[in-house]
Amino acid sequence: MIISTAAIVLKSIDFQESSKIVTLLTPEHGKIAVMVRGCRKPKSKFAGFFDTAAVLDVVLYLKPSRSVQNISEVSYRQKNWNIPKDFAKMAVAMGTMEMLDQLVHDNETSADFFSFSERMLLWLNDTEDDVTALFPYILIRLADINGIGIQYEARDDTGPFFLNIEEGVVASEPGLGLSFKLTDFQHKFVKKALIARNSTVLRNPFDKSELKLLIHHLDVYFNHHIDGLRQRQSDSIFDQIL
């Protein structure tokens, strides 16, 4: 079967002397592993397209009996060339791609994941805002898309506030299981991320140590609700900006 589809590059690994095996996120078919032969040769028609987080239009030959598919055509759907030039933007993009690679399954509809990721990458490419605080917002949105969204149930804004892991809520009291007490910044960030759902979360002053701890809390939340998640390799990059 031949299909034309939008695709986002989640990861790629070198294969033999000149090729790559690329994992693509697609709206209708979930993750697809693709063999891109000769793409590491400078004169290849595929050269330069398959960097992490690239947003493409591709033509694929799909065969259900194969675990790795073939590609015949590729073009840019979005030219997000500013992302690789900015260390913080690249860290956010790589962390997001790693999460998507673990959350999305092969051969299943993932239109919501794709739509969010495509819009996020376009915004990330174009924005002049400081994106250091963007990743925990992305984690909150991915949890929602995955069906394990955090709910806001705090009574008022006076505090204290807790992220209750088992119940999946921000509340005024700790839950029955594991809970994390949120700082004032962390509470305001999570509340705005849950209610506003836009880049205004980046406009509040933040402490890098509190931001890093919030990412830890959200990772614990994901690992409690989804089995088998691996630690992100891109965390080593985040350590340099947080």
58-114 confidence digits (pLDDT tens): 999 999 889 999 999 999 999 999 999 999 999 999 999 999 999 998 888 899 999
Q: What is the DSSP letter of 225?
A: H
Q: What are the tens digits of pLDDT across the range 11-36?
A: 999 999 999 999 999 999 999 999 99
Q: Tell the CATH topology of 2-78.
A: OB fold (Dihydrolipoamide Acetyltransferase, E2P) (2.40.50)
Please give the pLDDT value at position 184: 93
* Residue 179 three-state SS: strand
Asked whether residue 197 carries a pLDDT value surpassing 80, the answer given is no
Taking residue 195's Cβ as centre, other Cβ atoms within 10 Å add up to 10
CB 224 within 8 A of CB 169: no
pLDDT digits (tens, 9 = 90+) for 128-177: 999 999 999 999 999 999 999 999 999 888 889 999 999 999 999 999 99
pLDDT on residue 238: 77
Residue reference for tokens 């947080």: 242
Structure-token match 């065969």, residue found: 63
Average pLDDT over residues 230-242: 84
Query: In this predicted structure, what is the pLDDT of residue 200?
Result: 81
- For residue 44, the number of C-alpha atoms closer than 13 Å in the C-beta half-sphere is 18
Average pLDDT, the chain: 94
Q: Where are the domains of the chain?
A: 2-78, 129-238
Q: Are 199 and 193 in contact (CB under 8 A)?
A: no
Task: Tell me the DSSP string of 89-158.
Answer: HHHHHHHHHHHHHHHSPBTS--HHHHHHHHHHHHHHHH--S--TTHHHHHHHHHHHHTT---EE--S-SS
